[in-house]
Structure 1
Amino acid sequence: MTSKTVEVGDFAPDWPAIIAVVLGVTAFSVAQGLTYPLISLSLEGRGVSAATIGLNAMGFAAGLAAATLLLGRLTKLASADRLIIASLCGCSLCLATLASTSSLPVWFIARFALGFFVSMVFMLGEAWLNTACPDRLRGRVSGLYGAGMCGGFAAGPLAIPLLGTSGGLGFALLAIYITLVAFLTGLLTMGARTRPEPSSTRDLFAFFRHAPILILMVLMFGFADIAAISAMPVYFVKTGHSQAFAALSVTVLAVPTALAQPFVGVLLDKLPRRRVAISAAAVAATGYLAIPLVTSAPLLLALFAVIGAASFALYTAALTMLGEEYRGSMLVAGSAAFALAYAAGSAAGSGATGFLMSLINPAAGPLGVGVVLVVSTLIFAAAGRR
Structure 2
Amino acid sequence: MRWATYFAVLASVLSVGLALGVSMPLVSLRLEGWGYGSFAIGVMAAMPAIGVLLGAKVSSHLAAYFGTANLMRLCLWAGALSIGLLALLPSYPIWLVLRLMIGVILTIVFILGESWINQLVVENWRGRLVALYGSSYALSQLSGPLLLGALGTEHDYGFWVGVGLLTVSPLLLLGRSGAPSSEASSVTFSELWGFARELPAIAWAVSLFAAFEAMILTLLPVYCLQQGFTADIALAMVSTVVVGDALLQLPIGALADYLSRRTLFAGCAVVLMLSSLAIPALLDTLLIWPLWVLFGASAGGLFTLSLILIGERYRDDALVRANAHIAQLWGVGCLVGPLAAGAGSQWINGHALPLLMAVGAFGLVLLLLRQGAFGPMTEPA
Q: What TM bracket, shorter-length normalisation?
A: 0.7 to 0.9
**Aligned partners of 2:294, 2:248: CA distance in 1, in Å?**
9
Within 2, Cα distance between the matches of 1:107 and 1:347? 16
Select 2:174's aligned residue among 161, 168, 186.
186
Kindly provide the CA deviation profile for residues 172-231 of structure 1, in whole angstroms up to 9, marking residues without a partner as x: 4432332221112215x1xx3343433633576435313333211111222444455556
> What residue in structure 1 maps to residue 180 of structure 2?
195
- Normalising to structure 2: TM-score of the pair? 0.82
Tell me if structure 2 keeps the 8 A contact 1:204–1:336. Answer: no
2:252 to 264, 267, 271: 264
From the superposition, tell whether residues 203 and 14 of structure 1 become closer, same or farther in structure 2 (CA, over 3 Å): farther
The share of aligned pairs that are identical, in percent, is 28
The one-letter code sitting in structure 2 at the alignment partner of 1:201 is: S
Specify the alignment match of 2:63 in structure 1: 75
Q: 2:191 aligns with which of 195, 206, 213?
A: 206
Aligned counterpart, 2:302: 314
CA distance in 1, matches of 2:340, 2:162: 33
For residues 32 and 219 of structure 2, what CA distance do their matches in structure 1 show?
21
Q: Distance in 2 between matches of 1:103 and 1:352?
A: 25
The corresponding residue for 2:379 is none
CA contact (8 A) 1:128 1:196 kept: no
Cα pair distance change 1:169/1:122, threshold 3 Å:
same
CA separation of 1:228 and 1:61: change in aligned 2, threshold 3 A = closer
> How do 1:291-310 and structure 2 match up within 5 A?
291-294=279-282, 297-310=285-298
Structure 2 unaligned spans of 5+: 377-381
- For 2:131, the aligned partner's letter is G
Out of 126, 139, 142, the residue aligned to residue 138 of structure 1 is 126
For residues 249-304 of structure 1, the C-alpha deviation after alignment (integer angstroms, 9 at most, x for no partner) is 21211122212211111111121222211211111112223335547722222112
Structure 1: 5+ residue stretches without partners: 1-12
Which residue does the alignment assign to 1:66?
Answer: 54
The SS at the match of 1:197 is coil
Indicate if the aligned counterparts of 2:22 and 2:161 stay in contact, CA closer than 8 A. Answer: no
Aligned to 2:79: 91
1:373-384 pair list within 5 angstroms: 373-383=361-371
Q: Tell me if 1:156 matches 2:156.
A: no
Q: How many residues align?
A: 369
Secondary structure of the structure 1 residue equivalent to 2:79: helix
1:37-61 per-position Cα deviation (integer Å, ceiling 9, x unaligned): 334556777x697798777666544
Query: CA-to-partner distance for each residue in 1:146-179, whole Å, 9 max, x for gaps?
Result: 1122122222222334445566544344323322
Equivalent-residue separation in structure 2 for 1:135 and 1:15 (angstroms)? 14
Q: Measure the CA separation in 2 of the matches of 1:22 and 1:384.
A: 32
Alignment of 1:283-362 (within 5 A): 283-294=271-282, 297-353=285-341, 361-362=349-350
Look up the equivalent residue of 1:193 and give its one-letter code: G
How much has 1:345 moved relative to structure 2?
A: 2.0
Are the aligned partners of 2:79 and 2:106 in contact in 1 as well (CA < 8 Å)? yes
Residues 206 and 115 of structure 1: is their aligned pair in 2 closer, same or farther, counting only changes over 3 Å? closer
Aligned-partner Cα distance in 2 for 1:300–1:167: 30
Once residues 46 and 348 of structure 2 are traced to their aligned partners in structure 1, the CA distance between those partners, rounded to angstroms, is 28
8 Å CA contact 1:89–1:179 kept in 2: the answer is yes
Question: Which whole-Å CA distance do the structure 2 matches of 1:241 and 1:55 have between them?
Answer: 23
Q: CA RMSD in A?
A: 3.5
Contact kept, 8 Å, 1:92 with 1:174, in 2: the verdict is: yes
Contact 1:148 1:258 in 2 (8 A): yes
Give the superposition deviation at 1:68: 1.7
TM-score (norm 1): 0.81
Q: 1:174 to 1:375 in 2, by over 3 A?
A: closer
Structure 1 contact 236–246 (Cα < 8 Å) conserved: yes
Per the alignment, do residues 208 and 324 of structure 1 end up closer, same or farther by CA in structure 2, a change over 3 Å counting?
Answer: farther
SS class of match (1:195): coil
1:280 to 258, 263, 268: 268
Alignment map for 1:88-127 (pairs within 5 Å): 88-98=76-86, 101-102=88-89, 110-127=98-115
Q: Answer yes or no: is 1:177 the counterpart of 2:177.
A: no
C-alpha separation between the residues in 2 aligned to 1:54 and 1:286? 24
Contact 1:232 / 1:366 at 8 angstroms: preserved in 2? Answer: no
Separation of aligned partners in 1, 2:36 and 2:224: 26
The amino acid of 1:141's aligned partner reads L
Equivalent residue for 1:36, pick from 17, 24, 36:
24
